[in-house]
Every structure is written in structure tokens, then in C-alpha cells.
Amino acid sequence: MKVILMADIKGVGKKNEIINASDGYARNFLFPKKLAVEANNENMNKLQAQKDSSQYKKDIEKEEAKKMAEKMNKIMVRIIVKAGENGKIFGGVSAKEIAEYLEKEHNIKVDKKKIDLKETIKTLGIHTVEIKLYEGVVGKVKVDVRS
């Protein structure tokens, strides 16, 4: 019997997946616990509508992320720090500071974990930092570190 899973079941399948289950397993276990529904035309149409809706939402989010990436490419983040005579910074500029600057000055909320900074910036000058906005969408921000 073909059934549509309503939840992830270890060893069986993932949510919204269509599987072949034995009649007894489906009727005695999956259906009473509401872990699955029968894969008839009505339920298949509902599943397809759900998938279309989620794909549409993902497409919209990706378009917004692309617009945000274009906006970020024009932004120059200026951070003023204390530095020694040879241009070395006391401490460093972290992803947290960059995220706070973007939110305060440009009203762009970015999670500090999305900022691709291998290690803190420890020298003066202009550095290009990548920010992961969405799957396959990366925004680049120039960070100008001055003393």
C-alpha cells in the first residue's frame, strides 16, 4: 500500500515522502498514530500543493537575498580601532562587530555566524568579507579598518 509519511520515521522515511508499506503496518501502526495517510488522489494533490507553496517561498527568499547581496556590495563598513605604530590592531575586528555595524548603520540584520571570517581582522586597511545570505547567494562587504 502506498502511503504519504506525515513525520520522519527512523528506518522508514522522511516527512512528505511516498513509500510502499505493508497493509498491516500501515493500518495498525502508521494510520492510528497519524504518522501517515493513504496516498490517494486527494492526499497526493494536497502534497503537491504543499511542495509548490514551499518552492515558491524559497524562490522569493532567494530573490530577496540576491537583492540584499547587490545592496551589500556597495556598502563600506568603517570601523575605528586602536592600533600600534606598525599598523597592528590591539585585539581585532570580529564578525560580531561587523554584524553590529551593519545593523546599526544600514539596518541590515545579519547573523554573525553567516559572516565568513576565517579569523579576526588584525591589520589596518580595507578587507573584503563575504556574508552568506542564502544557498548559493553571497554578499561581499568591504571593511575599512582605521585607527
Q: Give dist(CA 37, CA 2) in Å, integer.
A: 9
CB-CB neighbours of 83 under 10 Å: 17
Q: Give dist(CA 79, CA 122) in Å, integer.
A: 12
Would 2-63 and 65-146 be classified into the same CATH topology? no
Q: Give domain 65-146's CATH architecture.
A: Roll (3.10)
- pTM equals 0.66
- pLDDT-derived band at 107, boundaries 50, 70, 90: confident
- pLDDT-derived band at 35, boundaries 50, 70, 90: very high
pLDDT at 117: 86
Q: Give dist(CA 29, CA 99) in Å, integer.
A: 49
How much of the chain exceeds pLDDT 90, in percent? 47
Q: Give dist(CA 60, CA 76) in Å, integer.
A: 27
Report pLDDT digits (tens) over 78-101: 888 888 777 778 888 888 988 898
Q: What is the CA radius of gyration of the chain?
A: 25
Q: Where are the domains of the chain?
A: 2-63, 65-146
Q: Dig out the grid coordinates for 6 from the structure.
A: 506525515
pLDDT at 55: 93
Q: Taking 80 as the threshold, does the pLDDT of residue 135 lie above it?
A: yes
CATH number 3.40.50.620 is the correct assignment for the domain at 2-63: no
| Among 38, 46, 33, 32, CA closest to 18 | 38
Helix then strand then coil, in percent of the chain rounded to 5, is: 40, 35, 30
Mean pLDDT score, 42-54: 93
Q: Taking 80 as the threshold, does the pLDDT of residue 18 lie above it?
A: yes
- pLDDT-derived band at 36, boundaries 50, 70, 90: very high
Q: Give dist(CA 83, CA 70) in Å, integer.
A: 32
- Judge whether 123 and 84 are in contact, CB under 8 Å: no
